Amino acid sequence: MTDADASPFDQQVATHRDYLLRFARLQLRNETWAEDAVSETLLAALSKPLSFANRSQLKTWLVGILKHKIIDALRHHGREVCVGSGTDDEQEDPLESIAFKADGHFGESPAEWGNPEQDLSSRQFFEILEACASKLPASQGRLFLMREWLELSSEEICKELDLTATNLYVQLHRARLRLRECLELNWFAHPRAT
């Protein structure tokens, strides 16, 4: 035994800290908030030890707790969560990343991304996806992941953050277009080994 004081359950829970922190950072985009959410998750888990058949089940349970702690944090920080970055990005038309002609037609037809069902469940793809999400401006990234990772409805997000629907849609729109561009550049445009 390496640590006389820690129970096997405590030790198992602790090994998942880095994994949980990765998603807390991605969603919260604030180191302190992320550390706090993960600490609260670990504390909640340790206070009600359960037995799990394997590591994977324990991890699933921990991620579930983390999501709740993260929603609490987002609600708590409210306004700070969705303030604009104040950069030029706020003014720029997000569709500028796609070349449209003056008459509204595509300048260049969108690329055929193929039928990448297999690719999309690969570890390499998820790494690119997470890297692209982490490159979004902070408020866009938070709102986007509230939709896509926390699976909140647009109505729920507006209510939790006291945000207008118009503001939310504009930010999500920008986030989705940026992500599309990033995935195209870093994944779909390049042939790769599978």
Partner 1 sequence: MMSSYPFKRTCKEVSALLIAREDRELPLQERVALRLHLAMCQACPRFERQVLTMRNAMKQWRQYTSDPGDEC
Min separation Cβ 105 and partner 1, Å = 5
> Could you say which of 13, 23, 82, 139 contacts partner 1 (CB under 8 A)?
23
172 binds partner 1 (CB under 8 A): yes
**Quick one: how many helices (H) and strands (E) in the chain?**
8, 0
> Could you say which of 43, 55, 131, 189 contacts partner 1 (CB under 8 A)?
55
193 binds partner 1 (CB under 8 A): no
Nearest to partner 1 of 110, 191 (CB atom): 110
What's the one-letter identity of residue 97?
Answer: S
- The residue whose two tokens read 């609490």 is 72
Which structure tokens are listed for 64? 């579930």
Which of these, 41, 56, 52, 193, lies nearest to 123 by C-alpha position?
Answer: 193
126 binds partner 1 (CB under 8 A): yes
Min separation Cβ 188 and partner 1, Å = 8
Query: DSSP letter string over 103-140?
Result: TSSBSSPPP-----TTGGGSHHHHHHHHHHHHTS-HHH
70 binds partner 1 (CB under 8 A): no
Nearest to partner 1 of 86, 104 (CB atom): 104
192 binds partner 1 (CB under 8 A): no
Q: Are 20 and 62 in contact (CB under 8 A)?
A: yes
